[in-house]
């Protein structure tokens, strides 16, 4: 047998043994899927590297559309939205973890740190499309791009928030009657008690820029 054939046969045999060992382990029921357990360090590293590369690649074609949060009502709307959609998992600045957030595996990161580490485009991509097989939902199916950019704009401000700022803003938003609403025909809209038109001011709730992405390989 030539050297090349020898090498090929050896590699194929090793591959077959590895697949058989993996299949035996996977079908034995001995692999732990409990959320209070942990991956092997190598599995963690592989997942992290897949996630980082995937997010970076898919976010690169997105054009940022950050709304101006200097308008008080827009800021209130952003905070009310964060409280409703995100705060149970992502502890806001100065907030305390919830029972839900404590049980998540992988845990939901502190978004002030994510804002330091990630571009607005990456924050938007994850918010819109979610991360499969983690607790991070895709918000794109139920929210317009404008609503999600509003959340991204708020998150990019988190690193500068004083400890009581989020709580104060939320209280002021509630005081002003601003609650989270979203524009896709859901019937559970909460009208503010005094029925002011607080929900829409200027930023585009129906923009769908960055919306269509080419699907890459799924494993
Ligand atoms: C049910 C829990 C849950 C909710 C609700 C949730 N997230 Fe997440 N989020 C997660 C988890 C868990 C991760 C980490 C995923 C991972 O490790 O791959 C995550 C990751 C992220 C990331 C990536 C952070 C980074 O540094 O990689 C962003 C951005 C994000 N979430 C934004 C949001 C926003 C904005 C909302 C609300 C609109 C939200 N999330 C609501 C659980 C949640």
166: containing domain = 60-175
CA–CA separation, 8 vs 170, rounded Å? Answer: 64
Assign residue 110 the CATH number of its domain.
Answer: 1.10.760.10
* Å from CA of 131 to ligand 1 middle: 8
Q: Using CA positions, which residue lies closest to atom 13 of ligand 1?
A: 108
Cβ–Cβ < 8 Å for 62, 124: yes
Question: How much is the pLDDT for 217?
Answer: 67
Domain count, the chain: 1
- pLDDT tens digits, 118-150: 999 999 999 999 999 999 999 999 999 999 999
CA–CA separation, 113 vs 205, rounded Å? Answer: 27
CA–CA separation, 20 vs 200, rounded Å? Answer: 58
Tokens of 153: 């704009």
When pLDDT is cut at 50, 70 and 90, the band that residue 12 belongs to is very high
Question: How much is the pLDDT for 181?
Answer: 74
Of 90 and 208, the structure prediction assigns the larger pLDDT to: 90
* Å from CA of 116 to ligand 1 middle: 15
Residue 17 lies in a domain: no
Residue 112 lies in a domain: yes
Of 154 and 218, the structure prediction assigns the larger pLDDT to: 154
- pLDDT tens digits, 168-216: 999 999 999 998 876 544 444 444 444 444 444 444 444 444 445 555 6
Question: Pocket residues for ligand 1 (CB within 6 Å)?
Answer: 51, 85-86, 88-90, 104, 106, 108-109, 114, 118, 123, 126-127, 131, 134-137, 139, 151
Residue 18 lies in a domain: no
When pLDDT is cut at 50, 70 and 90, the band that residue 218 belongs to is low
Which spans in 60-205 are helix H?
A: 72-85, 99-103, 111-117, 120-129, 145-157, 165-175
Mean pLDDT of 2-20: 96
Residue 156 lies in a domain: yes
Pocket test residue of 38, 51, 97, 108 for ligand 1, highest count of atoms within 8 A of CB: 108
CA–CA separation, 47 vs 62, rounded Å? Answer: 23
Residue 79 has a CB neighbour count (10 Å cut-off) of: 28
Residue 148 lies in a domain: yes
Residue 106 lies in a domain: yes
Residue 70 lies in a domain: yes
* Å from CA of 108 to ligand 1 middle: 5
Of 6 and 199, the structure prediction assigns the larger pLDDT to: 6
**Closest ligand 1 atom to the C-alpha of 155?**
35
Residue 74 lies in a domain: yes
Tokens of 57: 């690649």
Question: How much is the pLDDT for 183?
Answer: 57
- pLDDT tens digits, 24-71: 999 999 989 999 999 999 999 999 999 999 999 999 999 999 999 999
* Å from CA of 15 to ligand 1 middle: 37
């Amino acid at each position: 047998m030539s050297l090349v054939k020898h090498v090929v046969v050896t590699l194929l045999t090793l591959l077959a043994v590895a697949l058989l060992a993996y299949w035996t382990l996977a079908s034995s029921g001995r692999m732990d899927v409990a959320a209070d357990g942990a991956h092997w360090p190598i599995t963690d590293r592989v997942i992290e590297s897949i996630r980082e590369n995937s997010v970076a690649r898919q976010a690169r074609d997105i054009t940022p559309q950050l709304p101006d949060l200097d308008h008080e009502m827009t800021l209130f709307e952003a905070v009310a939205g964060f409280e409703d959609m995100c705060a149970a998992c992502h502890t806001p600045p100065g907030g305390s973890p919830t029972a839900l957030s404590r049980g998540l595996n992988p845990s939901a990161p502190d978004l002030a740190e994510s804002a330091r580490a990630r571009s607005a485009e990456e924050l938007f991509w994850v918010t819109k499309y979610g991360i499969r097989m983690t607790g991070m939902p895709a918000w794109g199916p139920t929210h317009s791009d404008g609503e999600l950019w509003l959340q991204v704009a708020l998150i990019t401000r988190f690193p500068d928030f004083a400890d009581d700022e989020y709580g104060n803003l939320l209280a002021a938003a509630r005081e002003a009657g601003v609650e989270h609403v979203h524009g896709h025909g859901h019937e559970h809209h909460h009208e503010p008690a005094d029925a002011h038109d607080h929900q829409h001011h200027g930023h585009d709730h129906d923009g769908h820029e960055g919306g269509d992405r080419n699907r890459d390989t799924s494993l």
